Structure formats: structure tokens, C-alpha cells
Structure 1
Amino acid sequence: MNQDKQEQINNQLISEFSKTLEMFSLNKTESQLFVILFLNDQPMTLDDMKDSLGKSKTAMSNSIRTLLDFNLVERVFIKGARKDLYQAKKDLYEKFMKTYVKRWLEALELQITSLESIQDEVNDLHSDSDILTNKLSEAIKFHRSLEEVFKQISQYDQ
């Protein structure tokens, strides 16, 4: 396969794969960087990443920090290397699902707490607004149902 065609296919792969990752709340640069690290067999420096994506070193540093926070990449040590090196972690599906489920559960917990607080305020007012009370109850029930689904999913990952 000629070099131009291979580069075109590689760019398409990065583009399409990163679109999927963006659904997991990664921004475009973070998604593209993860795909590049995932496809690359060797650990990469920030300079390597910058050259691969054509972005600034600052953008790479911020993106790698996010990917580290999500536990999707790891810093690796290679004797004699003077710069930090990073690579995508193995078990892609497991890592994404654990991260995604954890984030959903944290967000749901906050939302349920907020909705229950609003419900308490409505109850304290002894409001005659049955519609509002019913809608709040439905919203809390919806969030609790989602929470239960994500808790069940997280049990499969353990």
C-alpha cells in the first residue's frame, strides 16, 4: 500500500474512532490523542504527540492530563529517556466502561441530591402544586432508575 493511501486510512481511523470516544465526554483533541496513543505501539512524548496531531504542546499536556485522570493512559519509564513517555492502557473496553460508569454514578448522585433538596423546599412550602410535586417525584425516580442500571453495569466490571 502506498504511503499516501496508508496515511489517508490512518487519518480516517483516527477521525472515526475519536468520534466514538467523544460520546464518552472527551473533547475532540483528547479523543484524537487517545486514538493515536492506542494505535502507536511505542510510548510517546508530548513532542511526539504534538507532531502527530499538529497541536500545541500545551494542548497535548492538558489532554494527556485528562486522559491520565480518566485512567485511560499511563506514564511509562524507559531507561535513559529524558522526557516523560505515555501510552494507552490495555483493556480498552474495560477502562472506558469503568470510567464512564463511575462518572455517570457520580453525576447521578449529585443530581438526585439536588432534586431531593428542591423537593424538600417544595414540601416545606406546603405547596398545592401537585403537578410540580409529581414532576419532581418522576425526575427523582428516573434518576434513581438510571443509578440502578449503572450500579448493575459496574458490578459486571468487577
Structure 2
Amino acid sequence: MNELAELSDEQRALLLQMRRRVVESIGKNMDLYGITLSIGHLYGNMYFNREPVTLDEMSETMGMSKTSMSTGMRTLYDLKMINKVWGKGSRKDLYEVESDWHQNFADFFSIKWRKAVEQNMSALNRSMKEIGVLLERFSDDLAMVKLLQSDQEKINDALAYYKWLDRLIDSFESGEIYNFIPKEEPN
């Protein structure tokens, strides 16, 4: 049953106005993190649903094509911001929002940061190996050795940073971060 059906026209208009403002705010916030505004709006609209929804229902609610809706849902699912749930008697996939914003933040940044850390550490480690080869090859050229050693120090600094970032990601994934910065409890 549509929860808004029991409201007067004025109540419904005021409630929807308030929700639109929140949905717009969520969309803009997610846009800052590289998620499209429309996917942010999708999450925001789903946030206010009391029951799990299908692709068709969200497509109709938002006036988006089923293809766009499917892409948006897949993005939110991959980021662990929505979950597929089972619905008695339903043959279609049902989705509900992961409403723990702390967990959404931790999952989103863990996924993004972990990928970047792995790529960057791989590139840095390859460069360190190349420096080793070049140091051997040009061991008689003091100017080249000096430059290579300087580069080696800089790359070691970068590797130390990425090792720290890897531990930070681990703290998000394990929830240990909340021992240092506790979650705010709702009023």
C-alpha cells in the first residue's frame, strides 16, 4: 500500500518537498565522490522507501529508462550501498538501501582506495626494481647514482604512505576506525 495515499494533498506536498530537498542533497554529496548525480538521486529516493523495490518501480518513480535504472542499481550494489533481498511471491529482484551511512562511507572509500593503493604500489615496486638494475648498470657514473638514490628515497616515502593508507583501509573494513572516531548516534 502506498504510504502517501493516507495523507491529505497538503501533507503529501509538504512531505515530498522535504524529501526532494534531502534527495537533492544526497545526490550532490555523492557527486563530490565521483558518483553521478542521478545515481545519488536514486539512492536518495530509495532511502525513503520503507519496503524493498524493483527496478521497474524505481524506473517509474524516477522517470528513468530501465537500462539507466539497471546501471544505477548495479553501481549502488557494487558499492555495497544497496542489497538484493528476497521477497515472498516476487520473481523480480528486490533492492533495499543500506541505511548505515557510516558503513556506506567505509565501503565506498575502501573499494576505491584499495584499488588505487594496489595499482600505485605495483607501479612503485616496478620502478624500485628498475632503479636496482640501473644502479648496477651505471655504478661508475656518480651523477646518475646520486639521482637514482634520490629517486629511490622518494619512492620509499611514497611506499610508506601507501602502506599507511592500506592500514587505514583495513581499519575501515574491520570497523576499528570507530575506536578512534566513534560514530555519532542519532538524536
TM-score by length of 1: 0.80
Corresponding residue SS for 1:79: coil
Give the Cα separation in 1 of the matches to 2:66 and 2:157: 47
* Larger Cα-atom Rg: 2
Q: Kindly provide the amino acid, as one letter, of the partner of residue 81 in structure 1.
A: S
- What CA deviation, in whole Å up to 9, does each residue of 1:60-84 have, x standing for no partner? 1011112222222222333333433
Give the aligned partner of residue 82 of structure 2.
73
**Alpha-carbon distance in 2 for matches of 1:48, 1:11:** 18
Q: Shift of residue 3 of structure 1?
A: 4.2
Structure 2 CA distance for aligned equivalents of residues 17 and 89 of structure 1: 14
Q: In structure 1, how many angstroms separate the alpha carbons of the residues matched to 2:153 and 2:78?
A: 39
SS in 2 for 1:125: helix
1:136 aligns with 2:166: no
% identical aligned pairs: 24
Contact 2:80-2:107 within 8 A present in 1 as well: no
Structure 1: gaps (5+ residues): none
1:38 and 2:51 aligned = no
RMSD between superposed Cα atoms in Å: 2.6
Amino acid at match of 1:125: L
Gaps of 5+ in 2: 1-9, 136-143, 178-187
- The CA deviation at 1:12 is 1.5
* Matched residue type, 2:66: K
Bigger mean CA offset, 47-56 vs 110-119? 47-56
Which one scores higher on RCO, CA 8 angstroms, separation ≥ 6?
A: 1
Letter in 1 for 2:166: E
1:24/1:100 contact within 8 Å kept: no
Task: Note the 1:44-123 alignment, pairs <5 A.
Answer: 44-123=53-132
- Give, in whole Å, the separation in 2 of the partners of 1:76 and 1:31: 21
> For the Cα contact (< 8 Å) 1:37–1:88, is it kept in 2?
yes
